[in-house]
Amino acid sequence: MITEEIQKVLNDLDKILRSAVGLRNRREYMREIGVTDRDWHFSLTADEIIKNKIPAAVIGCFGIARLFCKLAPKELQFFVVTCAYEPDWTAARNGNEPKSIGGHQVIAVEIDDKLRMFHPGRRKLEFVDTDVAVGNLVDFGFRDVPGRYLITAIMTPDEYNKINTYQKLRNVYASGDMNNPKFTIVPRSKITVPLQNLFGRQ
């Protein structure tokens, strides 16, 4: 079954994340290894993350999604769903570009003719009962980062792995296209089901 295949990948991914070494803070980790480029963690390949045992807190959800793409069997069909933090997105669209547009990347698979979404950084597979569609607004229910997120793209693993700079990710947040910086996505007014406790490892 597809759920069993996904759970196996999550188990393998969890083992990799648990074997990580080094500082659990991106800025401190980068300072320790002498890296200053903001694009550094976006440019990391899954192989580099595994080889260097880089912690989850350093690679973030962007890197965790990349690891899932690497570990998933070829026969498993899935997508990477990119989500932009709506207040940042709206500010940037209105010309008040923040230092960076925050966001989250999750995975979606098709089950019973419906896309179902889950976070690959969680050890146990839990689907979210929500409409996975570009333009939907989602309340993730974070304790530390409350607010709404906008689904901006549903990408194949190959497409997602081509994102290797913040600018490309920012473009995906704006338009769904890594080569188009213009804000073309139209948010829907509906707020989908909160994703309480979905994000973050337990």
Overall number of domains in the chain: 1
What is the pLDDT, as a whole number, of residue 139?
A: 74
197 band by pLDDT with thresholds 50, 70 and 90? very low
What is the pLDDT, as a whole number, of residue 164?
A: 97
Q: Tell me if 201 is assigned to some domain.
A: no
Q: Tell me if 150 is assigned to some domain.
A: yes
Q: Tell me if 124 is assigned to some domain.
A: yes
Beta-strand pair 191-192/137-139: parallel
pTM over the 0.75 mark: yes
What is the pLDDT, as a whole number, of residue 145?
A: 46
Where is pLDDT greater, at 171 or 192?
171
Q: Tell me if 198 is assigned to some domain.
A: no
Residue ranges making up the domain that contains 124: 2-192
Q: What is the pLDDT of residues 13-63, one digit of tens each?
A: 999 999 999 999 999 999 999 999 989 999 999 999 999 999 999 999 999
What is the pLDDT, as a whole number, of residue 188?
A: 84
What is the pLDDT, as a whole number, of residue 190?
A: 55
At 191, give phi and psi (nearest 5°): -100, 125
Q: Tell me if 202 is assigned to some domain.
A: no
Question: What's the mean pLDDT in 82-108?
Answer: 93
Total count of residues recorded for the chain = 202
